[in-house]
Every structure is written in C-alpha cells, then in structure tokens.
A and B are shown apart, each in its own frame.
Chain A
Amino acid sequence: MEKPYLFGIHAEPPEALVWVYRALPFVIVLMAYSMLSMTYLAENPGGKLFPSFTMMGMRLWDLAFSFDARTQTYLLWADTYTSLFRFGMGLALGAALGLLIGVNMALFPGMRYMLLPFVTAVSNIPTLALLPLILLAVGIGDMAKVTLIFLGVVFYIARDMYTSVSELPEELLVKARTLGASQLGLVYRVVLPMVMPRLFEAVRLSLGIAWWSLIASEGIAATEGLGYRIFLMRRYLDMAGIIPYVVWITLLAFTINYALVYAQRYLYPWKQE
C-alpha cells in the first residue's frame, strides 16, 4: 500500500522525519525573525525594535545574573518568585473553592437552586473589567493580583466540577448509601475522591485565564513581577528584554501544565483513558 510521507490521510513518515516536521514551524518562525532583525538592524544601526538573538541573550544574562542595585535583587528571579507566588495563591484558592462549590451544587438540590444561576451569571463577567474595583477594595499589593486570578478561575472550575459530578452514575451514589455512607460521607468520601482527577484537568484548562489575569494586573498596577517588568521595559522600548521575558513566561506555563498532567497520573493511577 502506498503511504505518502506528508500528504493525505494515509501519510506515515519515518520516525526521523516526524521530528523534522515537529521542529519545522519553530525553525521557520525563528529564521523569519532573524532575517527581519538583520534587515532592520542593517538599516537602523542601534535600533531597539527588532533586536538580534545576541542582543537578547546579553540582555537576558543581565536581567538574570547581574545584581540590581535599586531593588537589591536579581530581577528575573525576583520577578519570577513574586509572580509565581501570586499565581499559585490565586489558582489554589480558586481550585479549592471552585471544587467545593461545584461538588455541593451537584449533590444538594438546595445548593443548586441557590447557587447555580448566580455562578452561571457571574462567570460571564470579564473579570479584568473588575480590576478597578479590586484595586479600590484590596489595594495594589499582592492581594489584588491574587483576587483577580481567583475570580478568573473559581467560577469556571465550579461549573466544570458541577458538570463532572453530575455525570457520575447515580448507581454509584445509591450503592454508597446502601453501604452505609452518610450524606456528608457521600460528598467527602465517595464523590470527592472520584472527581479529584477531573479537578486537575479543570485547573489545567484554567491556566490560560490565570496567566492572563496575572500579567494584566501586574501590568496595570504593581512594583514587581513578570508582567510589571514587561510593561516597564516597554516604556524604554526594551524589546531585547521583553522578548526573553515572554519566552520565559511561556516556558513556565508549559512546565506548570505538564507538571499537572504528571501529578494527576501519579496521584490517581486508577484514572485510565
């Protein structure tokens, strides 16, 4: 049977070529940028808009390994630490509360009547629009960023958990009752352990909105953090600093995403497919 290397639904390239395919889009973008940057710098020596890879590398080295006298820190690491703290806090609070709201809404009709319409309604608010209110309410410190991230993810996670608990087969819940589970036991000993893997998934899917909220809130009002630094560097047209920061954030996001995937697999080996 004919198996083409690239085109058609029967394509089956050899292993080595697969890696070439995978790398291709990255290589194309990097080469395109490189050419753009060279042309630009040839016409504008000393221009800041499209820095070369060397310039970015030097600037990154600077940000990461030279002591900043004004803030008394190494900027990249201090920013990363601050941002990850805010990120983790907001996400963890959102996941915990979202899980509780979702599970309780799904199991208790009383809770469902009271909370479901409200949660559905407020989950439609673009939370960034609330930032001015948040800034007024909790100030411009860490709490503002944590709150924005929290609000961004909590309703999404609550709704996702609500759906997945509702989809549990009723038979298992009935069975648990016949085996002597109390009503609260049903929630915390039967249902919760069964939907924990799904919580990891829900958190993973809300990572995007969490990063969004973090960078946006740091860009608008902050004194340190990855988002703050990017917006600060923008004022000086410091593209050689901004681009490595963006790549660094992407790398962090990627790592966190896969950390969650592997944590879920490790913690819940019973969860197949």
Chain B
Amino acid sequence: MAILQKGISVLSDSPHIEEPVVAPQINIVKNGEVLCPKDRMLHIEDVIKEYPTSEGSKIVLDNVDLRVAAGEFVALVGPSGCGKSTLLRLILGQEEATSGNIYLDGERIGHPDERRGIVYQKYTLFPNLSVLDNILLGYRWGLSFTEWRRQKQDIRARAIDYLKIANLEEHKDKYPHQLSGGQQQRAAVLQALIKDPKILMMDEPFGALDPGSRERMQVFLLEQWERTGKTIFFVTHDLEEAVFLATRVIVLSQHYTDGRDVPLRGARVVCDITTGKRGVAASTKSKLDPKFAQTIEHIRDRGFQPSHLYHVTQFDLSHPDSFHTVSPEELEGTK
C-alpha cells in the first residue's frame, strides 16, 4: 500500500518520561510542517493511560496521537477492551491521562465542562425531570435565577420548537422512563446540542437499541450533524455504523507489533482513514457502494486480527490530519 508510513516523521522522547506540568514545547514535524496544538479543534499527543492492577499496572492506551478538525464526524472503533471508552473519558475530562496532553481548541482540557457535550448509552437523561425540563437544563444552568425567571416563557417556547425536530413534542411532559430507548436518545442528543459544545462526544449511544430504531437514530444524528456542523466524536464497536456515519474512521487496537519486547501492548491508533463522504444523502448512497464493504474489510484487517499484526511503521494513517510519534525503542528491530 502506498500510504504506508506517510504519517510518521518524528521521534519524540520516550513516552515514559514524566511530562512537565506546563505544556512542553511542541516540535512535532510532519512532512516538513510543524504541528501545533492550535492547528485543529482537538489535539491529542503521546497520551498514555495506565490502570493499577493487582500485579502492578496495565497500560490501556499506549502513546495515542490524534488531531481532529472542526466539523469532522469521527468514529472511533476497535476490538473490545481496547480502550475506546477510556480515550473518550480522557477527552471528556472524566478521567486523567497518566501522561501526555490533550488540547481542545488550543487549550488544555480540564474537568468536564460545557466545551464538551456527552451522550452515553445508559443514563441518558435525568430520571426525575420531564423531557422538556431535561432539554431546558442547558439553558437554565447558564442563567442567574432572575434572568431565568424573565426569559423562562421565551426559552420554553424555543425548547418546544426544538423538540419538534425530534418528534418529541407530544412527549414533552413525560418522564424519561415512559419513553422508548430511541426517543430517550433523541432527547439526549438535543439536550447536549442545546449547550452548543465545541465537540459532541458519544459513547456507543445506539448500542442498546433494536436494529430498526438504531437506523432511524443514525439518520437523525446525521441530520443534526448537518444542521449544526458540530464536531462529533463517536465511539462504537459496530464497524458498519462507523463507516456509515463518519467522515473519518479511527481504529484503536492493541493488535500491532513494535520493537519493544513486551507481552501485552496498550492500544494505539493503528488505522486512520477518511470515508470520503459528507451528509445524510451521501451516507445513504455509500451503503450501496462496493467500497463500503471494502472499507469495513480494510478496517477489520488493520485492527481486529490478532493473527495478522502490522508493525508500528506500517499503520494506515492516510487521513490528512493523522500523525503519530514513535520512540526509538519502539522502532528497534525495524528493518
């Protein structure tokens, strides 16, 4: 494949050296261009996540590098247990990376805040609030009590309009448990979008839905994406869903080799490709294209085959925003 090694160009220090508290001087160069955290909406470099275990610690994410441009629909896939949701929680600020840096719009990310929206698979809405009140939260918490009282009627009307988008208007006074799974997820997507986050994170949001409502949700999500132009970071284990929805598919996997002599590797980005389409119409059409199945096959080959490993220098990082840093010891033994 011609794209091999396209993304590799730099050697950073060994990833195991502790990062200073201040953002370090970034001098990652890709094809002669200096990469800066401000270049893209989301910039992740050298991220390592270890969890303590009874026998020491287990590395889940091993030197993850990633850049995501604004407006992109990114799907993150990978074998089960590879750390997809861990990476999502790191970006969200729900957990902290052991080392490495994550920037959102050039700023270091911190605890969860309004810059990032989230839709989970479970616990999508607050059970004690009606659908309308759930939708209103984003407005309500942003306003002081007096301001809220003054604008309440206006905002309510706007929220009800909003619910029409998701055909939830007639259900506005119901509690979440009275809605179907698909309706709950639609409300959750709206709830998150109302806050106008820089990036919308989604953690297997449609994983618990039946195939029919799942497909409807996918189309709904694409419509919302087209309407708002949001950057979406979508974690799923379903390759078909990923290729159907996303403009860019990132494969996180522990199935690869490098020069290090370790029995278990933490996952890193082994494949990062563009699907070459945007929008609902294009997505619907793409399903019929033979390339659709080929892309899925390619992804499966790249990250899901423990028997067929790619070396760290052979990853398919063909997406233009893709980059990765490789330490000397990872390269050892490279031909």
Interface positions of A (Cβ within 8 A of B): 169-172, 174-182, 185, 189-190, 193-194, 268-272
Contacts and interface: CB of A to CB of B under 8 A. Distances in A.
B138 interface: yes
Interface stretch (B64-72, B189-197, B232-240, B246-254): B189-197
Given A169-B122, A180-B138, A268 B128 contact: yes
A181 B141 contact: yes
B128 A179 contact: no
Nearest to B115: A178
Contacts of B92: 174, 178
Nearest to B197: A178
Contacts of B176: 270
Given A170-B94, A269-B175, A270-B175, A178 B128 contact: no
B195 A180 contact: yes
A194 B134 CA distance: 13
A269 B174 CA distance: 11
Contacts of A180: 113-114, 137-138, 141-142, 195
A186 to B, nearest CB: 10
A172 B122 CA distance: 9
B195 A178 contact: yes
A175 B118 contact: yes
A178 B177 contact: no
Q: Which of A175, A189, A270 has the most CB of B within 10 A?
A: A175
Contacts of A189: 141
B114 A193 contact: no
Interface residues of B, number: 27
A175 B120 contact: yes
B43 interface: no
Contacts of A190: 126
B195 A177 contact: no
A193 B195 contact: no
B195 A174 contact: no
A266 B195 CA distance: 32
A177 B175 contact: no
B172 interface: no
Given A179-B191, A194-B128, A270-B175, A174 B141 contact: no
B94 A174 contact: yes
A175 B123 contact: yes
A174 B112 CA distance: 6
Given A172-B123, A179-B114, 13 more contacts: A171-B122, A174-B118, A175-B118, A176-B137, A178-B192, A179-B138, A180-B137, A180-B142, A189-B141, A270-B129, A270-B176, A271-B127, A272-B177
Q: Which 10 A-B pairs have the closest CB atoms?
A: A180-B141, A177-B112, A171-B123, A270-B175, A169-B123, A174-B112, A171-B120, A180-B114, A179-B138, A180-B142
B198 to A, nearest CB: 11
Contacts of B120: 171, 175
Nearest to B117: A178
Contacts of B111: 177
Contact of B118 (A178, A181, A185): A178
A65 B122 CA distance: 60
B164 to A, nearest CB: 21
6 contacts: A169-B123, A175-B120, A178-B112, A189-B141, A194-B126, A270-B127
Nearest to B134: A179
Contacts of B192: 178-179
Contacts of B123: 169, 171-172, 175
Nearest to B176: A270
A269 B130 CA distance: 11
Contacts of B138: 179-180
Contacts of B94: 170, 174
A175 B175 CA distance: 18
A218 B214 CA distance: 64
A185 B142 CA distance: 11
Interface in B146-195: 175-177, 191-192, 195
